[in-house]
Amino acid sequence: MAIREDVLVVGGGIAGATAALAAAESDAKVRLLSHKKSTLRQASGLVDVLGAIPRGGSTDGSGAVSDGAAPADEGSTDQSELVADPLAAIERLPEDHPYRVVGADGIRNGLEIFDDVVGDAYEGGHTDRNALVLTHGGTVKPTARYPQSVAPGLASAEKKTLLVGFAGLTDFDAPAAAAHLDAAGVPFDVDGATVTFPIQFRDDALTTRFAKALDKDQSGVRKRLADVVSEQLDDHERVGFPAMLGDDAGEEVRADLEDRLGAAVFQIPTGPPSLLGMQLEDLLFDALDAAGVRISSGNLAVGYEANDGRIESVLVDQRGNEVPYAAEEFVLATGGLVGKGIDSDRESVTEPVFGCHVPHPEDRYDWSEPAAFGAHAFARFGVVPDGDLRPTDGSGSEEFENLRAAGGVLGGADTAREKSAAGVSLATGAHAGRRAGEEATR
Amino acid sequence: MSKTPSALVLGGGSTGCGIARDLAMRGVDVTLVEKGNLTHGTTGRMHGLLHSGGRYAVSDQKSATECIEENRVLRRIASHCVEMTGGLFVQRPEDDDEYFEEKLQGCRECGIPAEALSAEEAREMEPYLAEDIERAIRVPDGAVDPFRLCVANAADAIEHGARVETHAEVTDVLVEDGEVVGVEVEHASDGGSADGLDSFVHGEPGTTEELYADYVVNATGAWAGQIGEMADVEVAVRPSKGVMTIMNVRQVDTVINRCRPKGDADIVVPHETTCILGTTDEEVEDPEDYPEEGWEVDLMIDTLSELVPMLSEARTIRSFWGVRPLYEPPEVGSEDPTDITRDFFLLDHDERDGLPGMASIVGGKLTTYRMMAEDIADHVCERLGVDAECRTAEEPLPGSEDFSVLRDWMDEFGLRSPVGLRSAERLGSRIDEVLGEWDGPNPTVCECEAVTRAEIQDAISQSGTELNAVRIRTRASMGNCQGAFCCHRMANELVPEYDEPTARDALDDLYQERWKGERHALWGEQLSQAMLKHHLHATTMNRDGDPAATGEEIDFGAFDAGESEGELSDTSGGDRSGDAVADGGRRTRTDETEGDADGDS
């Protein structure tokens, strides 16, 4: 029996999930295809909307840093200016940036869906302002939404802070991070201490092992950890740990530690494997289930069938067979270079599922800059949307009437330097999904 | 008794370190100076081939004979730096039959064990060789780790009383009464540690120092001409660049050579977890400033795919270039650098230029570094009146002493067995000293190359804060992810011995150095990997927008201090945010920050 829906979303990250949820609001029948684990396990779990305007970041004279509000005559062209008010700053982005297509209202719509999905698990929705969150590298980063467990650690709250690291966890060195934060000018005293976790794991055990032990309170580990930390506590008002304070029972673990320590306890987002990222993925998939979205995972979309400028089905590889998934409207949310929604070889850059046009410099040595944190062209690779987020071909016409794109597969945003990846996914996912739903149920 | 005769060796590559070790073992008081870290020049930028001599068996039989002799010596004295992979010279249909026979004959004439194989036999050894190859010759080529080899020589020189100074650039050659008496060096202000007891940096950063010795050896390779100029003698080194492209895995486990007279892109060397494709041969003016071009990378992939077709679709992780210190007597006058001999020359500036007290050693190759060192050490000893035999061909290097007992690394040092195995391969007989004596947790810092904290700390104790020097000693950050997951961890290992700003600078230097080579591999999987790295370091860590680095003054009060900030905080006086709002909270600003918000929008 043929598989047919109103809306088919290809891609299971933040953009795809948001698009599917937005489409489902119009009572469309929605299916989401995901290939494998999303890139969220590599992401911090923070929801950045726009944290920085990269200085000198415009590679094409398209109008970045144009309105005079940006500080000029800075020696280096590769630094960023941190942004407190993301919605107000979007007009300083290049004209081909996805935010310029969906606007501030588009971002609000995306955040609204997000806030509904996560409920109390995230904070930051009380204001349009960015919060400065501590990073595991020892500085601060502006973000729009942050997990509940991160909230007590915001850099703008002036509280004497103790950072705690563990001797076997190499990703986070608490004394170094504390000294670094001090150099970054945070408005509070901060110290760092390296302690030994009360349970002995193999030396290179990942954070997930620590989290599981705390979840289950294995061998009374919570009390023992609190005892170890309280030796360093003195008059510190809050204590920050790398994000390993439990997984399923994270809030219980944190409350327990706060109780025992008599101080606020918070988590500092980390790199992979990121518990906070994986927890966000769980929240998104729970919401998809609740919204009645069908989910097909584990197989790769490899092509499509089209007729007269409309896509009829997406072909999915299932043990060597190409199975068609038909729908009225389609959303492309396969991610960027990391998620393999954008592919490349020595000569060209491509979008592998629908073959949408991806502009790129001819010489691959122009894809990147000599400075490691330069304004790399590759960071902005992606499809070029029209005003309704439909990918366009080289001449500016839509590739397909019923295909919209969302998230990392869209070009024009340097989401790493802008700290905008999740925001772009939410805003464009909300728009593409809502429009797909409207069109399919019209 | 007269004082101990002294020698000054310029250059911390394989030749310089080899000379320092040799002279120190013969009782000479040796000081070695190097402007960068050890292997900074050509040694650290070669393809890692331990020659059997097969490559020179037709064109240059003297070099070929030296290669096979030294190949055998290094297997004995530097076993922890060498992997005997074996090598093949592979003939394709378009390659000359006669040359194949000459190669086979040449190998036999030079004493290189060589065996002709059919195409089927060759593919049995290396299944990914092209279907249409004709036949092959098997020779004892191998892979050698130039970093480990160089560091082991330097360490043994120190063991025998030598002083080794890195980050000490020669700024002048001191000549008194028509004789070279020493050099002036400048101690870099930004490299390595000044105070680490075991470090190779001793001079006060930013100062100059005059070093005197009875004899000076110029072993600066491609830079030998520049040293010569300081002493007003001409050393006509002809630097020739070559590209090397690193693959993500070992597509082959045997060194694969193309069996044809000469040409670019004719060798694949399996090296640790990778394969290295090489190379080109083009003369350059300045050994430090020459173009690194994409066509060279393309040439490696496209031409070597003729031998190993899967390379055309395989993933490369970076490319780098090295500069050969080629030399030929000026009267030869070769036009093409590929015609210049790979032999080495000892230039005695007394005989040649009437300037006593100094000799230069030029040309040659890593495989014969020890023999070159022996030759020049003989020369120096003769000049200094030292009567001592060379022992470097017999005495194993530190790490290669009697190390044959198979052990269970996991139990012994608490490591997962693959990590233990890789550690043991790198450290050789030093494993007890480095891992066995480590006190405290020993997590894996670099997962791609399986490098643990103990090994990183051992490298830091040798090389101070320069993480690139730690990298070459341990291979940390040299694997598939190119340091995405471990650059910052390596920097963390510097704290608390060094302060946080020092660690941060070291991280920036390492990260940028990695990026330089990654740019030559930015497509396909590796571009995806580079984007992940960019996200981990820019998005997650915000290293590019770090106020500590940019100097940006942040108005912390302009940012959200948290919804519940008002309730929890009752001790610190400086609360900026107001109470939680009552309307559900969305899109509402606290009073005090509202003005700021309008101000910067």
- Among residues A11, A7, A5, A22, the alpha carbon closest in space to that of A429 is found at A22
**Residue B586: its pLDDT value, please?**
34
Interface mutation target, options A40, A120, A122, A203, chain B, most CBs of B under 10 Å = A203
β-pairing, B142-144 vs A343-344, is unpaired
Q: How open is the CA angle A281-A283-A285, to the nearest 5 degrees?
A: 70
Question: Is residue B19 over pLDDT 90?
Answer: yes
Q: What band does B201 get if pLDDT is binned at 50, 70 and 90?
A: low
Nearest residue, CB atoms, B540 vs list A44, A123, A379: A44
- Per the CB < 8 Å rule, is B565 touching A154? yes
- Among residues A90, A71, A88, the alpha carbon closest in space to that of A129 is found at A88
Question: Is residue A215 over pLDDT 70?
Answer: yes
**Residue B591: its pLDDT value, please?**
35
- Per the CB < 8 Å rule, is A84 touching B416? no
Q: For A184-193, what is each residue's pLDDT tens digit?
A: 999 999 999 9
Question: Is residue A385 over pLDDT 90?
Answer: yes
Q: What band does B440 get if pLDDT is binned at 50, 70 and 90?
A: confident
CATH number listed for the domain at residues A151-268: 3.40.50
Q: Which CATH class is domain A3-119+278-440?
A: alpha beta
**Residue B2: its pLDDT value, please?**
56
Provide the ipTM.
0.94
**Dihedral of alpha carbons B335, B337, B340, B344, sign:** positive
Q: What band does B569 get if pLDDT is binned at 50, 70 and 90?
A: very low
A97 vs A104: CA distance, rounded Å: 12
Instruction: Give B533→chain A minimum CA distance, Å.
Output: 9
**Residue A107: its pLDDT value, please?**
98
What are the structure tokens assigned to B61, written together? 């039989």
CB neighbour list of residue B518: distance below 8 Å, 6 or more residues apart: B317, B318, B482, B526, B530
Percent of chain B with pLDDT over 90: 69
Question: Is residue B363 over pLDDT 80?
Answer: yes
Q: Average per-residue pLDDT in chain B?
A: 87
Interface mutation target, options B411, B500, B533, chain A, most CBs of A under 10 Å = B500
Q: For B51-98, what is each residue's pLDDT tens digit?
A: 999 999 999 999 999 999 999 999 999 998 999 999 999 999 999 999
What are the structure tokens assigned to B116, written together? 């002709």
Partnered with residue B308 across adjacent β-strands are none
Cβ contacts of A52 on chain B, cutoff 8 Å: 542, 544-545
| R_g (Cα) of chain A, nearest Å | 23
DSSP count for chain B of H helices, then E strands: 20, 23
- Give the mean model confidence (pLDDT) for residues B336-358: 91
- What is the CA B147 to chain-centroid distance, rounded? 5
Q: Average per-residue pLDDT in chain A?
A: 92
The upper half-sphere exposure of residue B386, i.e. CA atoms within 13 Å in the direction of its Cβ, equals: 24
Three-state SS at B72? helix
From chain B residues 513-552, the ones with a CB under 8 A of any chain A CB are: 514-516, 519, 522-524, 527-528, 530-532, 534-550, 552
Q: What band does B571 get if pLDDT is binned at 50, 70 and 90?
A: very low
A102-116, A392-406, B189-203, B404-418: which has the minimum mean pLDDT? Answer: B189-203
Q: For A2-55, what is each residue's pLDDT tens digit?
A: 789 999 999 999 999 999 999 999 999 999 999 877 778 888 999 999 999 987
Nearest residue, CB atoms, A135 vs list B511, B527, B541: B541
- Give the mean model confidence (pLDDT) for residues B399-423: 66
Cβ contacts of A141 on chain B, cutoff 8 Å: 541-542, 545
Partner A contacted by B582 (CB < 8 A)? no
DSSP count for chain A of H helices, then E strands: 10, 19
Question: Is residue B110 over pLDDT 90?
Answer: yes
What are the structure tokens assigned to B45, written together? 């930028």
- Give the mean model confidence (pLDDT) for residues B472-500: 94
B169 vs B389: CA distance, rounded Å: 31
From chain A residues 34-93, the ones with a CB under 8 A of any chain B CB are: 42-44, 48, 51-52, 54, 69, 76, 78-82, 84-85, 88-89
Cβ contacts of B557 on chain A, cutoff 8 Å: 156, 187
**Residue B590: its pLDDT value, please?**
35
**Residue B155: its pLDDT value, please?**
92
Q: For B27-52, what is each residue's pLDDT tens digit?
A: 999 999 999 989 888 888 888 999 99
Q: Indicate the domain borders of chain A.
A: 3-119+278-440, 151-268
A356-360, B395-399, B504-508: which has the minimum mean pLDDT? Answer: B395-399
- Give the mean model confidence (pLDDT) for residues B214-218: 97
**Residue B408: its pLDDT value, please?**
55
> Could you give the C-alpha distances from B233 to A148, A221, B10, B215, B373, in angstroms and in order?
72, 72, 16, 16, 22
Edge-to-edge strands of the sheet including B49-50? Answer: B49-50, B142-144, B82-83
Question: DSSP character for A203?
Answer: T
Question: Is residue A214 over pLDDT 80?
Answer: yes
Ordered domains of chain B (ranges, CATH): 6-42+147-237+343-384 (3.50.50.60), 84-143+238-326 (3.30.9.10), 409-548 (no CATH)
Q: What band does B406 get if pLDDT is binned at 50, 70 and 90?
A: very low
Question: Is residue B583 over pLDDT 60?
Answer: no
Q: How open is the CA angle B315-B319-B324, to the nearest 5 degrees?
A: 145
- Among residues A154, A149, A113, the alpha carbon closest in space to that of A134 is found at A154
First to last CA, chain A: 25
Instruction: Give A162→chain B minimum CA distance, Å.
Output: 15
